[in-house]
Amino acid sequence: MIVGVLVAGVLTLAGWLALRGRGRFHLSSAMAPAPVGAPSAPAIDVARVRMAGDLATQRLWRLAFGAPAQPQPVEGVHARVRELICAVLQVDSVDPNYFPRRPALLPQLLQAVNDPNAASDKLSRMIAHDPVLTADVLRLANSSLYRVSPAPIETIKRAIAVCGLDSLRGILAAAMLQPVFRASRTNFPRLPRMLWERTERAARAAELYAAHTHPQDRFEAQLVVLLSALGPLVVYSAALDGYSRAPRLTPNPALFVDLIDTWGPRMSQRIARDWQSSPRLVAALEKSNEESLSIALQVGELLGTLSFLESQTVIAQDERFAILDDAGLSGDLTDGIWRRLSGGAQNEARSPV
């Protein structure tokens, strides 16, 4: 009898612990690397993550261009415009006006990352030479995505102390590239702004995922997300110029969605190569392998896109849960990253299945 009671008690305790293990975990768990010798994260099914990410990104494009939910055939004169745009994008030498210039400080930043002796003072001096850049870095460091304390961050040295070197390097790279995403076109001006907001969230999510799985990838995980976002801007510019040759023709939103979905990744890879990025970054942009940086990119983009879509009420919380389930990304790590993307807001805990 006593043995039976003890066994029942042990089984009850084990079940309780299992249920707790499936709930949300504290924010600090998502911020810190996994302990040495501990499993860093559940195994990732890259194909499932990629499929979920592609579907979510298509919804982002449709929102940005006001395209219908169901794909529409592109016919007649629009089909001829499409052929013209594709011809421009597939040549070896694309019009350099479409491509963003590499930020002048980016090589120095990459060199500092590769230098094991690089210290916070070196990074501080690099930023201090440009007051505008300094202001942008501090603004990002104080945003809800990065700020981890109630006290405002007022200096670069303070930002390094609070955010850490890897996070600040990513913030600096983002501040360098943000001007590229400022809308300057009359047609579909929402695209650059929405893409940037999604990219900010995706870069942070990729960094947090890398921090827990492969801490040495934290900066590169942010950088590869930023590079991935540049390709769609190139296609956007080329498509608008293609339509400018037929000024009486109203641009077709569905055509823009199709072009960016098809050509955006290729243009991102081309930019990365033109900017003399490392072969590892270029390979990660292909999203065709299971290397850690490629996985961080895909997980970051999926979480960043869902976070943005939910903020715009395009998807609801239940749909987000279902998408993450389909991608195989439900669990403590994803929940902790999501709370960080939500500015640390206390979302309702998801009930265990």
Per-residue model confidence as pLDDT tens digits over 152-193: 898 888 888 888 888 888 888 898 898 889 877 788 999 999
pLDDT of residue 125: 81
CB atoms within 10 A of CB 345: 10
How far is the C-alpha of 350 from the C-alpha of 353, rounded, in Å?
Answer: 9
Residue 49 parent element (H or E): helix 46-65
The answer to whether residues 136 and 115 touch, using CB atoms and an 8 Å cutoff, is: no
Q: Where are the domains of the chain?
A: 27-33+41-101+182-341
How far is the C-alpha of 349 from the C-alpha of 26, rounded, in Å?
Answer: 12
The answer to whether residues 322 and 310 touch, using CB atoms and an 8 Å cutoff, is: no
pLDDT of residue 116: 55
3-state secondary structure of 261: helix
The answer to whether residues 153 and 162 touch, using CB atoms and an 8 Å cutoff, is: yes
Q: Which residues of the chain have pLDDT under 70?
A: 1-42, 113-119, 344-353
Closest listed residue to residue 344, CA positions, set 143, 145, 137, 142:
145
What is the model's pTM?
Answer: 0.82
How far is the C-alpha of 168 from the C-alpha of 137, rounded, in Å?
Answer: 8
How far is the C-alpha of 27 from the C-alpha of 340, rounded, in Å?
Answer: 7
Closest listed residue to residue 217, CA positions, set 33, 28, 30:
33
How far is the C-alpha of 192 from the C-alpha of 184, rounded, in Å?
Answer: 9
Q: Does domain 27-33+41-101+182-341 have CATH number 1.10.4100?
A: no
Rg (CA), the chain: 22
pLDDT of residue 81: 92
- Cα 36 to chain center, whole Å? 27
pLDDT of residue 17: 39
How far is the C-alpha of 230 from the C-alpha of 341, rounded, in Å?
Answer: 21
